[in-house]
Amino acid sequence: MIAQRTIRRREFLGAGAATVAACCVPTIVPATALGFGRPAPSERITVGFIGVGWKGLQGCFGSLVHSFLANAGCQAIAVCDVNSKFRDDARQTIDAANKNQDCRAYGDYRELLACDDIDAVAIATPDHWHARITIDACRQGKDVYCEKPLSLTIREARAMVDAGRQYGRVVQTGSQSRSYDNIRHACEALRAGAIGEIREIHVSCGGPSVPCNLPGEPVPDHIDWEMWLGPAPWRPFHPVLADKGFRAYRDYSGGGMTDWGCHHFDLAQWALGTDHTGPIEIAPPDGKDVKYLTYRYANGTVMTHESPQAQQGVAFVGSESDAWGHGMSARWRKGGDTAWRLPPGPADPIQGAKAHSDNFLACVRSRQKPHADVEIGCRTVTVCHLGNIAYWLNRPIKWDPQREEIIGDEEASRWLDRPKREPWNIV
């Protein structure tokens, strides 16, 4: 039995035009917000990094550590990872950039969060840790940049929003597309009717995560496996999990649906103007009438999830034209055209992760909402999770996006969250 979520009064208050606008229209913070030249050390935002493996340091199209280091207004001062090799690499990288030996290294994120001299944290752990660390960081007064997908479950994502709001923190979801000028331009144009009325959306990305049955192996000395598992159910160590391979497995991630899905469904949500809500029905393929997993929005827009064929991305079918988007690119195809073209506006970005971390750091100073505010990340990852639930149960589900509840299916509602391994808890 999972506690039912009641609609809170402040959500009604927040549903006014101003808040909706704040959610939907990214705040453009001038570059001057961080001042000219490098601020004095006392003026810089101090950042700690939690999870410095694949995405955190090695960099998947933009290392998180490097993107922060490239901002003159930021001072990286601490790292944390359960893998001591990753941890040492990150510490050395930061020390080299800072030209000192001062970067502190921790194996337990709670020790890092206890540091009073850290203003903000950047989280790039496996997904099953995102919620707990984000919520703890908010309680400790840290602003948070949390990699996408925002959470492992729908309830976790909402708890992250609540923590950020309650404690007045800036919480940025690591959906970098939100800070790319070309993608913003394209999504705003779509919302303004650039291809006419959006009638269909076809999202192409990987499928849901699966149960893990990798064999057990001895735990290497450099990995704290108990801490890696954290709130996830216990299972024996396997090296694939401790690297980026965890994403395929249900205890730690939502699979392709939440990996690239978090980019492509996010573009759909953005273009539809549904950053504050979501679909109302999700139906898995039935081999007859429903060919693909199909979402239906209240306004009648239909969105399907299709396995990647030639290319991943999200295609919009409008009443007048088509559009196609990817995490970094947008293309237009006017009625009758066969070739995709660059839409008017900014070209494809080359900013990498930096534009997004820059936006986060600017908001840490201004306290304004970042481009991918946690509410946006919550709504997007909810779309992904709902798709997974429908796939896993192999039956249609109805969703109340206002109350954030599955309607009339107690069993499906059990998937809104997962039990946490002791002593961890989320809410």
Partner 1 sequence: MQATQTKLGPGSWHAVRGVQTLALRRTLWLGWVMAAAMLPVALTSAQQDSPQSSPPDPLDGAFAALATHDWGPSLDALAPIDVAIAMSHGNVDARRYLEDRLLGVLQSDAPRAAKDFVCRKLSVIGTDRSVDALGTLLDDPDLGQIVRGALETIPGERATQVLGAALPRLKGPARIGAIHSLGRRADPLAAPILVSQLQSGAPEVDEQVQSAILSALSHLDAPAATSAVLAFDPSGSAVLRQGLIEASLRIAHRSLDQGDLAGAADVFHRWEGEASEPVQCAVLVGLIEAEPATAAPRLLQALAADNERLRRFAAQYVREHAVVGLMQQLVADLPQLPLSGQIGLLEALSDQNLPEVRGAALAGLQAADPRMRATGARALAVSGQADDVPQLVQHVVEDEPEVRGAACEALEKLPGADIDAAIVKCVEDGTPQQQIALVPIVAARQIRDADPMLFQLVGAADESVRLAAYSALETMADARFATGLAEKLAATSPGSEREAAQRALWRSCLQIEDSEERGAPILGKLQGATTQEQAALLPALGLLGGTAARKVVDAALVSDHELVRDAAVRALSNWPDASVADELMEIARTAEQPSHRIWALRGFARVVGREAKEKPQETFLGLRDALALATRLEDKQLILSRLTAVRTPDALALALSLREDESVQREAIEAVASLAEGMKDSYPKESRAALEQIVKLTPDPELQLYITKLLWNMQLKGN
Q: Which is nearer to partner 1, 55 or 326 (CB)?
A: 326
Closer of 101 and 215 to partner 1 (Cβ)? 215
Residue 399 CB, shortest distance to partner 1, in Å, is 17
Minimum distance, C-beta of residue 76 to partner 1, in the bound complex (Å):
16
Question: Which residue's CB is nearer to partner 1, number 198 or number 260?
Answer: 260
**Contact assessment for residue 54 and residue 259, using Cβ atoms and an 8 Å cutoff:** no
C-beta closer to partner 1: residue 85 or 367:
367
Closest separation between CB of residue 299 and partner 1, Å?
26
**Nearest approach, Cβ of 197 to partner 1 (angstroms)?**
28
CB of residue 86 vs partner 1: minimum separation in angstroms?
20
The distance of closest approach from Cβ of residue 85 to partner 1 in the complex, given in angstroms and rounded to an integer, is 22
The residue among 100 and 394 lying less far from partner 1, judged by its C-beta, is 394
CB of 226 to partner 1, least distance (A): 11
- Shorter beta-carbon distance to partner 1: residue 168 or 344: 168
CB 395 within 8 A of CB 301: no
Nearest residue (CB) to partner 1, 62 versus 126: 62
Cα torsion at 220, 223, 226, 227 (round to 10°)?
180
